[in-house]
Amino acid sequence: MKRALLVLVGFAFCCMALGLLNHASVKVAFLGDSLTQGWDFPRVNYGIRGQTTAQMLERFPWQIAGHDYRQVVILGGTNDTLLGVTQDVTLTNLSRMVDLARASDVEPVLAEIPPIYQDDGRLLEKTRSLNARIQKLAAQKQVRLADYYDALLGHPDAYSDGVHMKRRGYLRMEWALLHADNVFVPAA
């Protein structure tokens, strides 16, 4: 398993060197918090540091609707988890964003939040239960799902502080996104 991941990461680095994974298409918007904001892969990056899903939902209509995007990748829930927002509220907000995207003829893509590593190196277990509920929501709404959790599980070295990614963490996220049922349209 470890060898396979090394091969995959090596492949991602090679693709980057060839320019295949440099940036997502301008037709794909990425909506999220600081995890999205710090990621150089999205060309259309609507990540705002510290945002909860409620704040993302509030700005969704004016940032996504009417801009001719094909897809929106929604990565939200990390700050909700850290700030003690109930998972019911988080899921309601994510569900409403999916509905708003569809109403705007934009394909929504939900994303599992990456693992959160506490100061002592242990995982914050609430992320696992939230992601199980995000998976269920994606199945219920019949939307694609990017699994950032499994891509980063067991890789605290991919983080700068247990929450935010180093470049190698973002490479793992890009790989997971590329393999989520052809989630996005590569840059032309």
CA angle 78, 106, 144 (to 5 degrees): 55
Q: Rounded to an integer, what distance in angstroms lies between the CA atom of residue 109 and that of residue 145? A: 6
Range of the domain at 133: 23-178
Q: Is residue 129 part of a domain?
A: yes
User: Is residue 108 included in any domain, yes or no?
Assistant: yes
Residue 75 phi/psi, 5-degree rounding, is -115, 100
* Element (DSSP H or E) covering residue 75: strand 71-75
User: How crowded is residue 177: how many other Cβ atoms within 10 Å of its Cβ?
Assistant: 25
CA distance 57 to 187: 27
Res 184: pLDDT = 47
Give the pLDDT band (50/70/90) at residue 24: confident
Assess contact for 174 and 11: CB atoms under 8 A.
Answer: no
Residue 6 domain flag = no
How far is residue 130's CA from residue 182's CA, in Å, rounded to a whole number?
24
The total number of structural domains in the chain stands at 1
Does 188 map to a domain?
no
Domain-embedded: residue 5: no
Contacts of 131 (CB under 8 A, 6+ apart): 112, 113, 149
| pLDDT at residue 44 is higher than 80 | yes
131: domain CATH number is: 3.40.50.1110
Q: Among 80, 131, 142, which residue's Cα sits nearest to residue 109?
A: 142
Which DSSP category does 24 fall into? B
* Identity of the amino acid at 174: E
What's the pLDDT tens digit per position in 97-134? Answer: 999 999 999 999 999 999 999 888 889 899 999 999 99
Average pLDDT over residues 160-170: 94
Q: pLDDT at position 180, please?
A: 72
User: Is residue 15 one of the residues assigned to a domain?
Assistant: no
Which pLDDT score, from 0 to 100, does residue 186 have?
42
Q: What's the pTM?
A: 0.85
Q: What is the mean pLDDT of residues 140-144?
A: 95
Reduced to 3 states, what is the DSSP secondary structure of residue 58?
helix
Structure tokens at 167: 């470049």
**Is residue 7, in this structure, part of any structural domain at all?**
no
Beta strand 28-32 with 71-75 is parallel
Which residues, in sequence order, are bridge partners of residue 110? 74, 145
Structure-model confidence comparison of residues 144 and 13, the more confident one:
144
Q: Is residue 18 part of a domain?
A: no
